[in-house]
Chains A and B, each alone.
Chain A
């Protein structure tokens, strides 16, 4: 049986596992270390962990200062505060000077659940990817997350990475030939009728949707787009040419996330029907995570519905 672990859990393990190999790694948190899963790092490497208190803006600046002195800081808080509250610090103190800071946003998307709209960040891909030169990463499972952490440690530049709250089934470790490279998507399932390009939490949903569609005789390709920016244009273009229509899927507003990136790109090079599956420009409500996701159509059934629409648009 496949491992089931939240990407935040795998992240927390990875930074501890990689700390000896990467002595310049330092970890900052803003009073959420039990939730962002940096607590284990803080206990194992107390001299390399800095709890900056409930002061996310300052945390980003301190990380920038550490980076100018050769450290490799990872800042940790909820996605909402990393990409929202501290947006301008990330832009001006980290991205503009191209400093080697990794901004980690945990509890991204609606799956925060009970905490409600103030903490359900569905805008982080948009705010972070609109910053020039900012990389945006969103791994889908524990296996991919561990590889992403090490890849980010080897990438010299500013990047944002979303972590999820919910335990999710690990799927990428079973893919033959799977390898992780920042900026390169992965074909998880081949198909010729339609492509579902998913990221993060909806990757497993996309696989489930593809399975269901197969039962209806529809052969869906599933792409795991773990790096939203820079977008793997070659993989998207190939999918557009070979399957003729695309559904994007993300736990994010349909505006300014993966769907926007894919649609914008294709409209310029190879106009193709693109149907965006995501949160339809509304704030979420409180509830159990699964119920909240269901309520906003973030489910395999929601993806299937978008696939039907995409197929109807296909010439």
Chain B
């Protein structure tokens, strides 16, 4: 996909994620919107996955360690063709099986059930380790929140990934600076993340998480390093990206828009989509 197609797809995914959270009247929209550009680049241009064969043992893996951003992942998987877009209507509904946090057995394309923060990155380490044991060529990606880096397990996993020289592993941090209770800096400072990961013996790349070229370059660089170190891509992002009143507002971490707010959000994204397609 070229840059324009990526922008169109990411915008459609944002609309779908909003639709899901609005329909369910619950869900995590802020961090979904901040991570959707990266997810779009990964699933449409980078990950070697086949929607017709979601369990292919040779496939690249993706673990949504920030499992609450399931609206972003489910929307991306639906648009990528893993399952019909209509299935998203049952997000968080007892009538279906689209769990509130990412779930691997009922949602095709989800590689690991996640939701409890800090755990997905360890699982990604295990997947990468399995790839090394078996000499397989697949890569493993895992998306974490910046607030998630307050969990000690993240750093346990970081040590293990360095010990086992998992250069087939790429962690991605959605650094939007906000978490449920407010700014990371106020709740529990996590910066400097780059120096922390360097000290843990990782390659570190910092990018604008809404710049498709920069994201693409970073993922390519991470794949090309082959220096026996895992790579972390720290993305500077805007929480709530794409919806004016949600941007940079921690209040939209886990809140659903009401009908009126939903209409405003969709109209903004529709206008942007028209502009892109124009």
Which A residues are closer than 8 A to B by beta carbons? 26, 47-48, 50, 52-53, 55, 57-58, 60-71, 73, 88-89, 92-93, 96-98
Contacts and interface: CB of A to CB of B under 8 A. Distances in A.
Given A69-B57, A98-B105, A50 B122 contact: no
B5 to A, nearest CB: 31
Contacts of A47: 133
Given A55-B159, A68-B111, A97 B105 contact: yes
A55 B160 contact: yes
B249 interface: no
A97 B111 CA distance: 10
A96 B57 contact: no
A30 to B, nearest CB: 10
Given A50-B129, A65-B122, A70-B57, A92 B164 contact: no
The majority secondary structure among interface residues of chain B is helix
Interface of B: 57, 61, 63, 104-105, 111-113, 115-116, 118-131, 133-134, 152-153, 156-157, 159-160, 163-164
A47 B152 CA distance: 27
Contact of B104 (A62, A70, A97): A97
Nearest to B128: A65
Contact of B122 (A26, A61, A67): A61
Contacts of A69: 57, 126-127, 130-131, 134
B156 A55 contact: yes
Contacts of A73: 126
A62 B133 contact: no
Given A50-B164, A68-B126, A61 B153 contact: yes
Nearest to A91: B116
A89 B119 contact: yes
Given A53-B159, A61-B153, A68-B112, A92 B130 contact: no
A243 to B, nearest CB: 43
A66 to B, nearest CB: 4
A106 B275 CA distance: 63
B160 A58 contact: yes
29 contacts: A26-B133, A53-B159, A53-B160, A53-B163, A55-B153, A55-B160, A57-B118, A58-B156, A61-B121, A61-B123, A62-B122, A62-B125, A62-B129, A63-B126, A64-B126, A65-B127, A65-B128, A65-B129, A65-B130, A66-B126, A66-B130, A68-B112, A69-B127, A88-B116, A92-B115, A92-B116, A93-B122, A97-B113, A98-B105
